[in-house]
Structure 1
Amino acid sequence: MTLDDVLASLFPDGHDVRNDEGVVLGSAVLRSGTGMLVVGIADRTALGIDEAIRLSGYVLESVGRDTGPILVLVDSDSQRMSKRDELLGLNEFLAHLAKVLIHADMNGRATIGLLYGHSAAGALLATGLATRVLVGLPGADPAVMDLPSMAKVTKLSMEALEEKAKSTPVFAPGLSNLARMGAVHMTWSSAVSLAGQMEALLADMPAVQDKRDALGKERGGRVKAVDIAERVRDLALQTR
């Protein structure tokens, strides 16, 4: 689905969302009357310092002023790998954006990520994975790291990684693998109204918490993460 398709299906009564050179900013009202802030990255735009600070500022300005959930639409490249962005502290800008979304969620603005296109690496971490719930649409193409890049980092051959990717979601890109790891909470249908699916999710949001590690264990994609996290927490509490 294109950005226009997604917006039309989510907000059939209209919206005030604009795509400004790959940066999505605006707001809309659902049929239930719920107002929603809408931000994101479109057109497979690389997420650099300029995009990150615009998105961060837009969200921060709304915290304490507006009510209602925040929707983060995601169709990006990876983070922008330019000398300028790196020298100016791209990692800090991406971390700031992620923290702003988490801050908003902790202060009454439930955050929902909607992955409808591509995303990878730091761009995915700072947007969709920084929301309380990440939803995928069929055809979305996420990757924490593509296999050629993973081969360079791990020093493993492409053949070895391709073989591991068949049985281990951590080594494999794609929507289904991120869902198995618990990173993607659910996958919506593009054949029916997204507005109805959004309303159903929002009705459950008060009870929905970030439980990616538990979902990863339940779905067989990350079987140890939740147990290790709980063990670390228990040890920390024992030493207080």
Structure 2
Amino acid sequence: MDWKSLAETLFGSDRGLTLQGDFLQGEVALDGEPLTVVGTTGHAPIGVRLALAQARAVLDTIARHPGRPILLLIDTQGQQLRRRDELLGINRAMAHLGMAIDLARRRGHRVLGLVYDQALSGGFITSGLIADACDALPQAEIRVMRIPAMSRVTKLPEDMLTELSRANPVFAPGVENYVAMGGVRRVWSGDLQAALRQALADAPTEDRRALDGAERGGRRLAADVMARVLEAP
């Protein structure tokens, strides 16, 4: 689903949203209440420019509209793989975006991520995975790394990783696997406006991803390890 169709489905219109290149932002209303939308489209690679633009939109909302909910619309192929962005410090720009989202959460803004198309790698980690909750549409594509790339990094054979991915969601792409791991809270279907309304109403104020992963059987040890670390003297 393209962003205009999604906006019309969720808000009745795409008015209030502006598109500059691949950067999407603006103010919409849900049930008469204002909502800030920040996101990307066109499978955007997140470079320094895009990361800083998103961070600025989040920080402006914190400064001008205390407590207003923020919806992150996610469609990204991951971080921009370009020498210029590396030299400009893409790692710091993306960290700045993540910290801006975290600050919004700490200041009382409900921050919701929605993967409506594609979510890959660092572009997803520093947006939807830092929100209070991240949901997805059924047709969305989510992964951090393809198995061939994972093989090059881990030095493990592709056949082994492919076999592992059949039984362990950690090694496998796909919306269902991210739901099992707790990275995606739920998949929207049917009335998308009602799904958004519910998602904002019950957005958690504490990070439940590890607990959800344990309960769903897709990430079995993270919550226990975290609890043991916190209990350690």
Give your verdict on TM over 0.5. Answer: yes
* Aligned counterpart in structure 2 of residue 228 of structure 1, from 207, 225, 229: 225
Query: Which residue is 2:138 aligned to?
Result: 138
Per-residue displacement from partner, 1:51-91 (whole Å, max 9, x unpaired)? 00011111101103214200000011110011111111111
1-structure distance, mates of 2:60, 2:161 = 44
Query: Which residue is 2:187 aligned to?
Result: 187
Q: Which runs of 5+ in 1 are unaligned?
A: none
Query: Which residue is 2:45 aligned to?
Result: 46
Query: Which residue is 2:122 aligned to?
Result: 122
2-structure distance, mates of 1:93, 1:146 = 24
Secondary structure at the aligned position of 2:64 is classed as coil
Query: Which residue is 2:93 aligned to?
Result: 93
Q: Which runs of 5+ in 2 are unaligned?
A: none
Structure 1 residues 153 and 29 mapped into 2: Cα distance closer, same or farther (>3 Å)?
A: same
Per-residue displacement from partner, 1:128-160 (whole Å, max 9, x unpaired)? 111110001011001111111101101111111
Query: Which residue is 1:218 aligned to?
Result: 215
Q: Percent identity?
A: 34
Secondary structure at the aligned position of 2:151 is classed as helix
Give me the TM-score of the superposition, normalised by structure 2: 0.96
Give me the TM-score of the superposition, normalised by structure 1: 0.93
Runs of 4+ in structure 1 displaced over 4 angstroms? none
Query: Which residue is 1:11 aligned to?
Result: 11
Contact 1:15 1:29 in 2 (8 A): no
Contact 1:40 1:127 in 2 (8 A): no
Report the AA paired with residue 59 of structure 1. Answer: V
1-structure distance, mates of 2:201, 2:79 = 33
Larger deviation: 140-149 or 193-202?
A: 193-202
Q: CA offset at residue 13 of structure 1?
A: 5.2
Report the AA paired with residue 40 of structure 2. Answer: I
Per-residue displacement from partner, 1:169-216 (whole Å, max 9, x unpaired)? 110111111111000001100xx33211111222223x5532000000
Q: How many residues are paired up?
A: 232
